[in-house]
Amino acid sequence: MEESEITNKSIGSTEIDSFVEPNVDRSSQNALPRTVLRPNTYSLLDGEWKFQLDQEDRGLLEGWYLGHKYPHTAHWPGSVEEHMAKTRGEVQAAPWQDKIIAWYEREFTRPEKIESNGKTMYQLTFGACGYETRVWLNGRLLTDIEGGDVHYGEYTSFSFEINEEHLLPVNWLTVRISHSMDAEVPRGKQESHVYKRGGIWYQTFSGAVRSVWLETIERNRLRSRVGVFSLIEDSLVRFGFTTRIHDPGQYTLRLHVYEREGENNQPLASSDFQLRLEAGQKQQHVVIQIPNAQIWCPENPHLYRFEAQLIDHSGYAAEIGGHFGLRKIEARGRHIYLNNSEIYIDGILYQPGTATYEEMRRHMYAMKELGCNLVRVHIAGIDPRIYNLADEIGMLLWVEVPSPHTSTKRSRENHWKELLRMLALIETNPAVIIWSLYNEDWGAQDIATNPETRQYIMDTFHYMKIKYPQFLVVDNDGWQHISYEGKLKSDILTSHLYTPDLPRWIELLDQLTAGQMEGVAAFPLVVGDQYFFRGQVPLIVSEWGGFGFSDYGGPNDLNERAERIKQFKQELRKRPIAGDVYTQATNIEDERNGLIDPHTGALSVPAGLLNSGQDDGSCRSN
């Protein structure tokens, strides 16, 4: 196929369901990096693009988007660092200093004219790109659906509605991407002006990191941002939909729920909701009851399928679809309860780094084989299809906001915006049970001394607890949790404990469970007002081990490492601790402490090593 050609493909949930056998990994059936689907057509714009660096920042002034001869090519998706290396004839991704600016351009032929009496239009979507992205179509600067000429962020998708009149027989799409070492923007463990590459800090991985596609959408529709909160005792599910309206009027929101597997295509539950909608966007919550509902849990990850339609006065319907599961997560006393049954967290820390989608899929299956029931995705963005895969295979997820590297008013504003962008796209997945706002006070280094930093984290914690009751929330993972009036502003008291010495490990665990707040982790476990631990919140050792990484010590021999992990795990289970997260799944750059081959997914230690072997009962009927 020529680069200027685009192939239309159907991605509707109905079409996919009709060809997939039960128990098949459906995440791999979805060609696009998103969790909610539309029964429409799309044109994937991945492949070879023209490419040029712009380190002198001349492109905007010289109007490259109006016409420019680009000397290089690059494959999208891919990182700016990879593309830099290719242009220099290098194998390794090229580092950069201070800032990076890159331009991309490609041509595509005009799609077929939409014949819908003005009911549908085109939409251009980027799976992820950044940190700052500007997009031009045929020299015309596009404004995204949120109203911005510049999109900020590099972990989540964003879209542009396309006026069909602006499409030509042959079109050119121009993208300008800029990033910097700015420590005030969310960047996770990618290096910055504050934390330089080396040790636990990694090279940047930025730019055109996920697919881009052109698709047909309805002018008046439901956006692919759906929230799900279930009340398992009453078999009730609350859906949160976002409407996008160009033509105000009376609409019907029609919701159908089906079994995800099996041959029965009759809905288990259906309901209509009458809405009067104005132009713009609005969130609407509706509730539906599912008779004899089965709950979702790691041992039996039972999923339902939903189809939601927004129907206008003429009967024209705009549809989205996806899956969900009924589950309940709580922190009560010393324990975590999944579906009203106590559960122990057998977790592992996962840093995907530059892994491809296929490699991440292999990692997920490998972590399941290790005996884990939870993966802590460590301050990084991942392909959304991995969340769907976790739902399908029954893997709990702990997700985190990629952190800035310095604590300022601006860094907190950027952190808040990144959190909202992530939340909007990770609300349907029952696998996601825990969110961390910060990790080891990166981006909140003054948490112990600055009341403004603590207030921001407390306000965000309260916001999460009110608007997203389906999640547990950790304020600052590892240490320096916030106490206000003696109340912990975290659902879980977490601690990062690193020692290769078994007697010291036993001592640390005894101190932790006894409620000792200082001298256990690298910093005091709690800051702010006085806090007295009496077993009122669960304890999780959310990082430990690291065996094989020189900074943490421990055995390099794999057999000896496996035996040490067993010993450490046994000591954890002897104590009133709610869970643990072994560090870590795969090697990444200087951290050579993985248990899984980063490319093949093969285990280097025995299967089931991290499993506690308990029957948590979280799948029993209520």
pLDDT at 614: 72
Pairwise pLDDT comparison (10 vs 137), residue with the higher score: 137
Arithmetic mean of pLDDT, 411-440:
97
Given a cut of 50, is residue 551 above it in pLDDT?
A: yes
Task: Please state, in angstroms and rounded to a whole number, the distance separating the CA atoms of residues 596 and 610.
Answer: 13
pLDDT band at 4 (very low <50, low <70, confident <90, very high): very low
Return the SS3 of 445: coil
Domain topology for 42-218: Jelly Rolls (2.60.120)
Mean pLDDT, rounded, of the chain: 93
Task: Please state, in angstroms and rounded to a whole number, the distance separating the CA atoms of residues 454 and 448.
Answer: 8
**Lowest-confidence region among 41-45, 448-452, 519-523:** 41-45
- Decide if 403 contacts 414 (C-beta within 8 A): no
Given a cut of 60, is residue 6 above it in pLDDT?
A: no
**Lowest-confidence region among 20-24, 448-452, 560-564, 578-582:** 20-24
Task: For 490-515, write each residue's pLDDT tens digit.
Answer: 999 999 999 999 999 999 999 999 99
Task: For 320-343, write each residue's pLDDT tens digit.
Answer: 999 999 999 999 999 999 999 999
Task: Please state, in angstroms and rounded to a whole number, the distance separating the CA atoms of residues 111 and 42.
Answer: 10
Q: Phi, psi (5° rounding) for residue 226?
A: -125, 130
Given a cut of 60, is residue 10 above it in pLDDT?
A: no
- Decide if 339 contacts 328 (C-beta within 8 A): yes
The string of DSSP letters for 424-440 reads TTSSS-TTEEEEEEEET
Task: For 143-190, write each residue's pLDDT tens digit.
Answer: 999 999 999 999 999 999 999 999 999 999 999 999 999 999 999 999
Q: Which residues contact residue 260 at a Cβ distance below 8 angstroms, ignoring those fewer than 6 apart?
A: 17, 303, 304, 305, 323
Task: Please state, in angstroms and rounded to a whole number, the distance separating the CA atoms of residues 390 and 395.
Answer: 5
> Which residue in 39, 579, 580 sits closest to 305, CA to CA?
39
pLDDT at 289: 97
Task: For 70-80, write each residue's pLDDT tens digit.
Answer: 999 999 999 99
Q: Which residues contact residue 369 at a Cβ distance below 8 angstroms, ignoring those fewer than 6 apart?
A: 603, 607, 608
pLDDT at 265: 83
Provide the Cα torsion 180, 185, 188, 194; round to 10°. Answer: 70
Domain limits, CATH 2.60.40.10, in the chain: 221-324
pLDDT at 36: 94
pLDDT at 103: 98
Task: Please state, in angstroms and rounded to a whole number, the distance separating the CA atoms of residues 419 and 417.
Answer: 5
Arithmetic mean of pLDDT, 379-407:
97
Domain limits, CATH 2.60.120.260, in the chain: 42-218
Given a cut of 50, is residue 28 above it in pLDDT?
A: yes
What are the tokens at 493?
């008291």
Arithmetic mean of pLDDT, 588-594:
94
Kind and range of the H or E element at 610?
none
Task: Please state, in angstroms and rounded to a whole number, the distance separating the CA atoms of residues 601 and 366.
Answer: 6
Task: For 106-136, write each residue's pLDDT tens digit.
Answer: 999 988 877 778 899 999 999 999 999 999 9
Strand partners, 396: 374
pLDDT at 20: 32
Q: Whole-angstrom distance between the N-terminal and C-terminal Cα of the chain? A: 55
CATH code for the domain defined by 329-596: 3.20.20.80
> Which residue in 13, 427, 14 sits closest to 237, CA to CA?
427
Domain topology for 221-324: Immunoglobulin-like (2.60.40)
pLDDT at 621: 55
Strands 120-126 and 158-162, sheet pairing: antiparallel
Task: For 190-213, write each residue's pLDDT tens digit.
Answer: 999 999 999 999 999 999 999 999
Task: For 333-390, write each residue's pLDDT tens digit.
Answer: 999 999 999 999 999 999 999 999 999 999 999 999 999 999 999 999 899 999 999 9
pLDDT at 619: 82
pLDDT band at 466 (very low <50, low <70, confident <90, very high): very high
Return the SS3 of 481: strand
pLDDT at 144: 97
Strand partners, 221: 244
Arithmetic mean of pLDDT, 540-561:
94
> 570: burial class by Cβ within 10 Å (0-12, 13-18, 19+)?
exposed
Return the SS3 of 245: strand
Domain limits, CATH 3.20.20.80, in the chain: 329-596
Task: Please state, in angstroms and rounded to a whole number, the distance separating the CA atoms of residues 216 and 111.
Answer: 10
pLDDT at 24: 61
Task: For 468-484, write each residue's pLDDT tens digit.
Answer: 999 999 999 999 999 99
Task: Please state, in angstroms and rounded to a whole number, the distance separating the CA atoms of residues 86 and 69.
Answer: 18
pLDDT at 48: 98
pLDDT at 25: 78
pLDDT at 324: 97
Task: For 280-298, write each residue's pLDDT tens digit.
Answer: 999 999 999 999 999 999 9
pLDDT at 15: 29
